[in-house]
Amino acid sequence: MADTTSSDIPTDSGTLQTADGRPLKAALATAQRSARNRAFYLVLPLLLFVVVTFIFPIGQMLMRSVSDPRFIEHVDLGTGEVTPIMVGLRTWFDENPAGTEPDEAAYAALVADLVHLREIRAQGNAGTRINYVYPGARSMFTGGARRAGRLEPPFKDAILDMDEDWADPALWQTMRSSSGRYTADFYLAAIDRERDAQGNIQKVDEERAIYLLLFERTLILSVVITLLTLILGFPVAFLLATLPLRYSNVLMILVLLPFWTSLLVRTTSWIVLLQTQGVVNDIAVSVGLITDESRLQMIYNQTGTVIAMTHILLPFMILPLYSVMRPINPSYVRAARSLGATSWTAFRRIYLPLTIPGIAAGSLLVFILAVGYYITPALVGGSRGQLISNLIAFHMQNSLNWSLAAALAGLLLGGILILYWLYDRLVGIDNLKLG
């Protein structure tokens, strides 16, 4: 026993070694590797799932927001064959700087490209790509491609004869900026910017500017909704956390009840309650609070959006708050009181700071959900209660301009990542308690 001293551990120029002479660090790494591998294999299915269903689709979406190559190549969806298109025109763009007046060569290249488009039936795609920025271009391309084969030089006159919009410098600028594989145009459009005929960035017309307004409105409404859920949810969470278990269980069921009801049902219930001929107005009229003529407009506007979304998102505030409040020992507040603090001071100085992880988590959760919500605002938001997500949905489903939808979503994603980063800096992400 006594001679098992440290001098028996083999050492080699200062590094510790195992009994059989291997470096200790290497031995440790080997011993831990199998445990690490096992852990990795355990999460592998989830990792694959997340990559396939989340990371790749989002990556693809973000890719679309900067790249819509339908003006430079055509993919035959039957065969998968990729054919470069608009080659002549793009060569002309490469050789002539932006703002150059299109000459006969440019028009000749255009006609040749249109003929080529016609051959491979790509005129619709190419036209649609330009049409996003230059309205009317789609039919110019489809019509132009149909007749391009019959045009005779000089091509400039022939094309302008067909449709004089072909001379519009804005169209040429659009075609030039669509000739690159990657473009910031969709992000520009997403912040109400466009390029003028010279390629300079400018604001769009007042009457078409919408996205910045909606981003701002989304931000404001989301903050309002977050604050409302906090104000309404905090006392409920407190009650949940402090009531004896048998009462708090009942209350918890009431809190969770909305989760078990379809979102559409809940939203529609709000319509039934809040519309001008709805329950709330009917009661107010029948008790003489308001007259039949002055029924309140509580829905199909921002009020409706705020009320319905506050209700729907309330559990997402209450649950994180509850999970933070539950383990707070009531003796903290008692201690503060016994030390001379009024109940308000004890709340403000002791209880409130202890619930900050819950407040932050709940607020983050509600805010992030609120900025991305679109079904409820679509149903109860009317015209001014729309959020940016409604426009994203519009471009996904109606205008089918997925690149613009992706750019809008990308901006939203970026904003939320910044928020998340701020949260991490201010509160610390390891303090996040979501329930």
The nearer residue to other proteins, 229 or 355, going by C-beta atoms, is 355
Q: Taking contact as CB under 8 A, which single stretch among the options 162-170, 225-233, 239-247, 381-389 is the one that binds other proteins? A: 381-389
Provide, rounded to whole angstroms, the least separation between the CB of residue 55 and other proteins. Answer: 9
Tell me, what amino acid is at 144? Answer: G
> Diameter of the chain by CA atoms?
107
Please tell me the distance from the alpha carbon of residue 38 to that of residue 86, in angstroms, as a whole number: 54
The nearer residue to other proteins, 122 or 412, going by C-beta atoms, is 122
Dihedral sign for Cα atoms in the order 65, 70, 76, 82: negative
Q: Who contacts 171 (Cβ-Cβ below 8 Å, separation ≥6)?
A: 130, 134, 137, 140, 165
Tell me, what amino acid is at 51? Answer: V
Q: Out of 255, 401, 403, 407, point to the residue binding other proteins (CB under 8 A).
A: 401
Angle in degrees, 0-180, between the axes of helices 137-148 and 123-131, rounded to the nearest 10: 150
Provide, rounded to whole angstroms, the least separation between the CB of residue 30 and other proteins. Answer: 35
Within residues 156-185, the interface with other proteins by CB under 8 A covers none
Q: Out of 170, 239, 354, 413, point to the residue binding other proteins (CB under 8 A).
A: 354
Q: What are phi and psi of 11, to 5 degrees?
A: -125, 150
Q: Taking contact as CB under 8 A, which single stretch among the options 134-142, 154-162, 169-177, 362-370 is the one that binds other proteins? A: 134-142
- CB 90, CB 71: distance < 8 Å: no
Provide, rounded to whole angstroms, the least separation between the CB of residue 306 and other proteins. Answer: 16
- Token code pair at residue 291: 């007259």
Q: Out of 12, 397, 425, 430, point to the residue binding other proteins (CB under 8 A).
A: 397
The nearer residue to other proteins, 132 or 166, going by C-beta atoms, is 132
Q: Does 210 bind other proteins (CB under 8 A)?
A: yes
Q: Taking contact as CB under 8 A, which single stretch among the options 7-15, 223-231, 245-253, 374-382 is the one that binds other proteins? A: 374-382
Please tell me the distance from the alpha carbon of residue 44 to that of residue 127, in angstroms, as a whole number: 44
Please tell me the distance from the alpha carbon of residue 148 to that of residue 109, in angstroms, as a whole number: 11
Decide: helix, strand or coil at residue 379: helix
Please tell me the distance from the alpha carbon of residue 320 to that of residue 163, in angstroms, as a whole number: 62
The nearer residue to other proteins, 229 or 376, going by C-beta atoms, is 376
Provide, rounded to whole angstroms, the least separation between the CB of residue 7 and other proteins. Answer: 35
Q: Taking contact as CB under 8 A, which single stretch among the options 99-107, 117-125, 168-176, 248-256 is the one that binds other proteins? A: 117-125
Provide, rounded to whole angstroms, the least separation between the CB of residue 128 and other proteins. Answer: 6
Please tell me the distance from the alpha carbon of residue 13 to that of residue 78, in angstroms, as a whole number: 68
Provide, rounded to whole angstroms, the least separation between the CB of residue 260 and other proteins. Answer: 24
CB atoms near residue 222 (< 10 Å) = 23
The nearer residue to other proteins, 335 or 422, going by C-beta atoms, is 335
Provide, rounded to whole angstroms, the least separation between the CB of residue 150 and other proteins. Answer: 20
Q: Taking contact as CB under 8 A, which single stretch among the options 36-44, 56-64, 239-247, 362-370 is the one that binds other proteins? A: 56-64
Tell me, what amino acid is at 90? Answer: R
- Token code pair at residue 227: 């604050």
Tokens 């909305």 belong to: 258
Q: Among 381, 371, 348, 353, which residue's Cα sits nearest to residue 420? A: 371
Please tell me the distance from the alpha carbon of residue 175 to that of residue 277, in angstroms, as a whole number: 52
- CB 309, CB 279: distance < 8 Å: no
Provide, rounded to whole angstroms, the least separation between the CB of residue 56 and other proteins. Answer: 4
The nearer residue to other proteins, 261 or 345, going by C-beta atoms, is 345
Provide, rounded to whole angstroms, the least separation between the CB of residue 85 and other proteins. Answer: 12
Number of residues counted as binding other proteins (CB under 8 A): 72
Within residues 283-342, the interface with other proteins by CB under 8 A covers 300, 329, 331-332, 334-342
Within residues 139-158, the interface with other proteins by CB under 8 A covers 139, 142
Tokens 């006392």 belong to: 235
Q: Among 58, 61, 119, which residue's Cα sits nearest to residue 87? A: 119
Provide, rounded to whole angstroms, the least separation between the CB of residue 127 and other proteins. Answer: 7
